[in-house]
Amino acid sequence: MKPRVLLVLWLGLLSATGAKADGTTGSQAFSTSRIAQTAGQYGQYIGSNVRGMDPLGFSGGNVGYKNTGSGNIGAFNSGSGNVGAFNGNENTSPTSGNHNIGAFNGNGNTGEYDGNTNVGAFNGNFNGGSFNGNGNAGAFNGNFNGRGNR
């Protein structure tokens, strides 16, 4: 077959598929108004969820989401004076799990004065005695101590 004939056939096929695609996509699949409508619906759903969570709510001196105790900033903090997330939870003494900055500090202590004033992550957790897991900076410090260490 001559090159000119192949070129004409190729151009004809290309223009036929192009015309079909333009006719379909322009009116249905990629309608700008439809995209705007869908985006607006998702925006309403997200806004409703955020309002329901009350992410910047103030309750009992706390700022954030699902904080208990007092003076906590962030999310899921208990005790007092914690900043971050998941600090000061599940302690048997109110003197434990206070004044931590970071995440997962001062949790699960059964003694007194455990898991306080830690900075970082996973500090001062699961101590059984008194005065354990305090004043740590970094990660994975002062955990799983069984007796009172001053």
- The two beta strands, 101-103 and 119-121, are parallel
First to last CA, the chain: 94
pLDDT digits (tens, 9 = 90+) for 24-66: 444 445 556 666 666 666 666 555 555 555 555 566 789 888 8
pTM of the model: 0.62
CA 7 to chain centre: 57
Chain segment 102-143, per-residue pLDDT in tens:
999 999 999 999 999 999 999 999 999 999 999 999 999 999
At 76-91, the pLDDT tens digits run 999 999 999 999 999 9
Give which of 85, 48, 92 is closest to 67, Cα–Cα.
85
Task: Evaluate whether 121 touches 105 at the Cβ level (below 8 Å).
Answer: yes
pLDDT at 5: 56
In the predicted model, is pLDDT for residue 3 greater than 90?
Answer: no
- Return the DSSP state at 55: T
Between the CA of residue 130 and those of 56, 74, 145, 150, what are the distances in Å? 34, 27, 9, 8
Residue, of 20 and 69, whose pLDDT is higher: 69
